[in-house]
């Protein structure tokens, strides 16, 4: 089959690889009908995530039709012919983390847990197409994929919604929603979202759905800010505006009640010297992540507010504003998305028309043009917001 594989930093290639097969008894094989490029795939492309190997299949947002199930799959849950969306973190549904609805912290699905434990203190779940640190599972930017523990993870789509309406249930819609959910939004809350990429857009939509009075988008890419503005959100372009002052202005000096970091480890900063400082430290491995958005969210948030982090961090940061965080009673909430917790309720919101996930799609390409998709997405060319690939 054809698959989009990581070759080296900044290079992905669509190549011929063997078809997937059943390795565990509860596996299923899915013929992929739609898949997408995620902002976090760019961290892999850019070489910021360790343990990538030449030939690793990329992609953790995919859906399709079940074409084979292993002998251990519970047939009441999944059968050949089912149409499914596959969540990016692999859960087992039986460990303490999964039982507590913390699926991305599953204790059983990362065969390289020993490695992850050294990096993070405790291991985290296996993830499709996301380095060997998260298990070395082949990704979904391919014609077929092996789905692990297939009777607890995939979401069956039984209505006639299109692929584009439900594909993002695999990652970015639940991720954006969890960003807003962790904010514990009350009536009248002002929510600021750093990053107007796909996840940021969905965090804004979710904040509004959950009752925010006012949503503010912070980015420096004009077309992404326009996309947010078109939904009625206030925008701040950090390349020409001092973010903290503007946020104070917009909130009567209080600061946003809730802040969402939808940027993560490769943030850029409006001030060149600050950007250079972190870029240099990252280059010499004195820090692995550039935390501008997180720093700004913590210092801008009102006292007693919540900072919700859904942008991906991988290692260590420098100059964490611990003083602001501690002295002003700020709550920090975090996590790779527990997709399985949110899939079904979000599917219902899509069915009810409360959220339209298709609004962010700007590019539809065949799988064979995946490298071009990465290119326009990474360099924000051609007003690229979200690339959907079809095999």
Partner 1 sequence: MPSPPHAPLRADPLTRGLGLFSAALGVPQVLRPAEVARALGVGDAPRHRTATVVVGVRELVAAAGLLGRPHPAWLWARVGGDAMDLTLMGRALRHHDGRGLQRTVLSTAALAVVTAVDVHAALTRSNRKETRRPMELTSTTTVTRPPEEVYAFWRQLDRLPTFMAHLDEVRDTGGGRSRWKASAPFGKSVEWDAETTADVPGERIAWRSLDGADVPNNGEVLFLPAPGGRGTEVHVALNYRIPGGAVGKAVARWFGEEPSQQLDDDLRRFKQVMETGEVVRSDGAPRGKQAREEFPQHPAHPLTDDERAEALA
3-state SS assignment for residue 153: coil
Note whether 95 binds partner 1 by CB under 8 A. Answer: yes
Note whether 8 binds partner 1 by CB under 8 A. Answer: no
Note whether 64 binds partner 1 by CB under 8 A. Answer: no
Note whether 2 binds partner 1 by CB under 8 A. Answer: no
CB of 316 to partner 1, least distance (A): 22
Kindly identify the residues of this chain, within the stretch 273-292, that bind partner 1 according to CB under 8 A: none
Q: Which of 153, 178, 177 is nearest to 63 (CA)?
A: 153
Helix (DSSP H) and strand (DSSP E) numbers for the chain: 13, 18
Note whether 26 binds partner 1 by CB under 8 A. Answer: yes
Nearer to partner 1, 103 or 325 (CB): 103
Note whether 322 binds partner 1 by CB under 8 A. Answer: no
Out of 63, 149, 155, 207, the only residue in the binding site for partner 1 (CB under 8 A) is: 149
Cβ(362)–Cβ(386) below 8 Å: yes
Note whether 146 binds partner 1 by CB under 8 A. Answer: yes
Helices (H), the chain: 39-45, 96-99, 113-120, 163-166, 172-181, 198-209, 222-229, 243-250, 272-283, 292-300, 322-327, 339-351, 370-378
Please give the sequence-ordered ranges of beta strands (E in DSSP) within 87-131, or none if there are none.
89-90, 126-127
**Only segment of 18-26, 256-264, 278-286, 379-387 that touches partner 1 (CB under 8 A):** 18-26
Note whether 19 binds partner 1 by CB under 8 A. Answer: yes
DSSP state of 154: P
Note whether 60 binds partner 1 by CB under 8 A. Answer: no
Note whether 109 binds partner 1 by CB under 8 A. Answer: yes
| Alpha-carbon torsion (44, 46, 52, 53), positive or negative | positive
Out of 107, 171, 181, 261, the only residue in the binding site for partner 1 (CB under 8 A) is: 107
Cα 36-70-52 angle, rounded to 5 deg: 40
CB of 87 to partner 1, least distance (A): 16
Provide the binding-site residues for partner 1, judged by CB under 8 A.
3, 5, 17-21, 23-26, 53-57, 72, 92, 94-96, 99, 107-114, 123, 126, 129, 132, 135-139, 146, 148-149
């Amino acid at each position: 089959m054809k698959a989009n594989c990581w070759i080296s930093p900044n290079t992905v290639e669509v190549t011929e690889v063997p078809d997937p097969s059943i390795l565990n008894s509860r596996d299923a094989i899915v013929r992929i009908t739609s898949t997408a490029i995620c902002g976090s795939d760019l961290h892999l492309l850019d070489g910021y995530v360790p343990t990538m190997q030449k030939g690793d299949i990329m992609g953790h947002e995919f859906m399709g039709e079940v074409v084979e199930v292993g002998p251990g799959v519970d047939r009441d849950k999944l059968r050949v012919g089912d149409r499914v969306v596959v969540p990016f973190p692999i859960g087992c549904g039986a460990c303490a983390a999964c039982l507590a609805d913390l699926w991305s912290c599953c204790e059983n699905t990362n065969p390289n847990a020993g490695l992850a434990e050294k990096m993070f203190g405790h291991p985290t779940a296996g993830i499709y197409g996301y380095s060997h640190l998260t298990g070395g599972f082949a990704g979904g930017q391919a014609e077929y994929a092996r789905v692990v523990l297939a009777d607890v993870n995939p979401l069956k789509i039984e209505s006639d919604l299109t692929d584009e309406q439900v594909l993002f249930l695999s990652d970015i819609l639940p991720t954006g929603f969890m960003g807003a959910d962790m904010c514990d939004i009350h009536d009248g809350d002002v929510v600021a979202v750093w990053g107007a990429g796909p996840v940021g857009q969905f965090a804004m939509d979710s904040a509004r759905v959950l009752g925010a009075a006012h949503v503010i988008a912070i980015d420096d890419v004009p077309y992404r800010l326009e996309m947010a503005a078109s939904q009625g959100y206030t925008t701040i372009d950090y390349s020409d505006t001092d973010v903290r002052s503007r946020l104070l202005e917009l909130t009567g000096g209080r600061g946003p009640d809730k802040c969402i970091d939808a940027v993560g480890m490769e943030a850029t900063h409006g001030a060149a010297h600050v950007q250079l400082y972190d870029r240099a430290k990252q280059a010499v491995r004195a820090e692995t992540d550039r935390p501008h958005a997180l720093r700004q969210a913590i210092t801008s948030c009102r006292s007693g507010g919540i900072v919700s982090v859904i942008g991906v961090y991988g290692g260590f940061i420098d100059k964490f504003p611990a003083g602001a965080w501690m002295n002003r009673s700020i709550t920090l909430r975090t996590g790779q998305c527990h997709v399985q917790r949110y899939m079904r309720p979000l599917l219902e919101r899509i069915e009810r028309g409360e959220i339209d996930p298709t609004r962010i799609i700007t590019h539809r390409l065949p799988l064979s043009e995946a490298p071009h998709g990465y290119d326009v997405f990474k360099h924000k060319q051609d007003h690229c917001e979200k690339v959907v690939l079809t095999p």
